[in-house]
Chains A and B, each alone.
Chain A
């Protein structure tokens, strides 16, 4: 499988929130390769840019939710997925856990929490897919 790129895909249908996540990511020195507002868009952008991390909102516009998109991305691209959700119901958590998530963040999310989760997810993706890069 082709290696993943040093970028992050943001999936969030609220523009203002997507802006905040982008702002946090840029502060970490990470590149945002796109902002997707629906599951289909997220899958398409992920397949195009092959990001190391996909930020995934659970509730999205359209019929599919974040887990549907995440499962397809996991299967076709292999990016690490960090879920960000407003729901705390056990059903939602169970559904998210279907997709071996790298992290689950519950809104409201503060900056430090956000950045810690992304950092850990990034580390885990790199270890999983390119162990050599860590050693070199």
Chain B
């Protein structure tokens, strides 16, 4: 049998339709189904190929081409099944089927082997998710980037500021440096000045070690004050030259300076001089640190000996004065005591004279004699009253005349024994002494007694005593009554020989003038100078 025969008619059999008895329905069913299947199989590879052309990134693309081959083969077998219905080309059909089998097997084997790798490929969903994560990450990245930018800007700004500050600080430092160097220059100058003033000062200057108090340097003034040369003092302790009793107080003051409790020490103490004399000095000290960093006590010592001596003398003088004042005060008190004693005794003696007169009056028979003694008692009483007023006064020398006149008038009224005669006193206040009060009291006594005796035969009336100051220079004493036209005191004086005599004498003694007038009573006016005591 030839290859042709094998290919197109191997069995000598009829076409496949024969097996189906050429039943039209059956033939149509087979033919139709195979035709549709075959055509579908032909179209699928076209679709795959077109997909593959558009999606070149598909992994394992060659598998798709394997699929295309095997599906095309399957489609060909179906088309050959239709052919074999009418033509017995079973050989060709067999080769096609065998080819299909090879392709299918190869595809199947490769597919199975490829499965794990295909599974490892990310799915679309997974990819979407990845994509989303990725874009989120990207977003974050952008955000962080923005922040970074911002921070960077901030850092840059800070940097700029820092730079500016550094610049200004630098300039400040430069200025300070400048000032410092100027100060150093000034200090150098002032140190020179200090040296000059130290050496040349009129007051004592001492530089010493703060702790040991050893003298480092002194000026001439200080050395002279103590009677040494400056070099003799250097290296010795300040305490050597201080009077022992003055040392503790100075030490406690100095301790306060050392501890920093006070900045400056001011103290007065006595120094021991070369010749053993003591000299008062006023120390003003402070502790300073020198430009070399050493601490030094800088002291100024003023010689205040003269002042202290003057003070001591003044204190002694003041004490003496005090003693004198005390003595004087005591003497004054003593004088007061003695004066009171004298006044007291004068009063007592006058009281005794009054007693004697009263006793004598009791023994007398004549009315005139009794009256005379009564007048006498009034005069003695007036003297006693002056002493009584003096005793009550603060200075034991002067008193106010007004209460004296009231007291005197009261006694004269009482002594007259006639209570229907009123005595009215009207007196300005006036300070008087003994020399003024005694004659004035006597005058009032004489004048009032005269009125009481002669002006009121019916025992009724008023006697007025007035004392006033005129023009601050004169004193006017007026004694008046509203009694009958009385005989003049002059006449009375002639009668008794004593009343008028007293009035005349006392007015002369007081360098006073007097005038009497009779006009519905008797009025006597005495004009005298203002007493010195007032």
Which of A14, A16, A108 interacts with B384 by CB under 8 Å? Answer: A108
Question: Does chain A have a CB within 8 A of B224?
Answer: no
Which of B348, B355, B362 interacts with A86 by CB under 8 Å? Answer: B348
- The 9 residue pairs across chains A and B that have the minimum distance between CB atoms: A112-B414, A108-B384, A20-B355, A88-B392, A16-B355, A86-B344, A16-B352, A110-B411, A86-B347
- Of residues 377 through 406 on chain B, the ones whose CB sits less than 8 Å from some CB of chain A are 380-381, 384-385, 388, 391-392
CA distance A14 to B351 in the complex (A): 10
B388 A108 Cβ-Cβ under 8 A = yes
CA distance A113 to B380 in the complex (A): 16
Which of A59, A87, A108 interacts with B354 by CB under 8 Å? Answer: A108
CA distance A111 to B410 in the complex (A): 12
Give chain B residues whose Cβ lies under 8 Å from the Cβ of A112: 411, 414-415
Instruction: List the B residue with the shortest CB-CB distance to A19.
Output: B355
For the complex formed, measure the closest distance between the CB of A45 and the CB atoms of chain B, giving whole angstroms: 21
Which of A14, A89, A113 interacts with B340 by CB under 8 Å? Answer: A89
- Of residues 337 through 355 on chain B, the ones whose CB sits less than 8 Å from some CB of chain A are 340, 343-344, 347-348, 350-352, 354-355
B385 A17 Cβ-Cβ under 8 A = no
Give chain B residues whose Cβ lies under 8 Å from the Cβ of A86: 343-344, 347-348, 351, 391
Question: Does chain A have a CB within 8 A of B125?
Answer: no
Chain B residues proximal to chain A, CB less than 8 Å: 340, 343-344, 347-348, 350-352, 354-356, 358-359, 362, 380-381, 384-385, 388, 391-392, 410-411, 414-415
A106 B388 Cβ-Cβ under 8 A = yes
A88 B351 Cβ-Cβ under 8 A = no
Instruction: List the A residue with the shortest CB-CB distance to B353.
Output: A16
Instruction: List the B residue with the shortest CB-CB distance to A85.
Output: B344
CA distance A16 to B411 in the complex (A): 21
B340 A107 Cβ-Cβ under 8 A = no
Give chain B residues whose Cβ lies under 8 Å from the Cβ of A44: none
B interface footprint on A2-14 (CB within 8 Å = 1, 0 otherwise): 0000000000001
B411 A20 Cβ-Cβ under 8 A = no
Instruction: List the B residue with the shortest CB-CB distance to A108.
Output: B384
Instruction: List the B residue with the shortest CB-CB distance to A116.
Output: B414
Question: Does chain B have a CB within 8 A of A109?
Answer: yes
Known: A19-B359, A86-B348. 5 other contacts (CB 8 A): A19-B355, A23-B362, A59-B344, A107-B347, A112-B414
Give chain A residues whose Cβ lies under 8 Å from the Cβ of B415: 110-112
For the complex formed, measure the closest distance between the CB of A44 and the CB atoms of chain B, giving whole angstroms: 25
Name, among B343, B348, B380, the residue most crowded by chain A CB atoms within 10 Å (CB to CB). Answer: B348
Give chain A residues whose Cβ lies under 8 Å from the Cβ of B410: 113
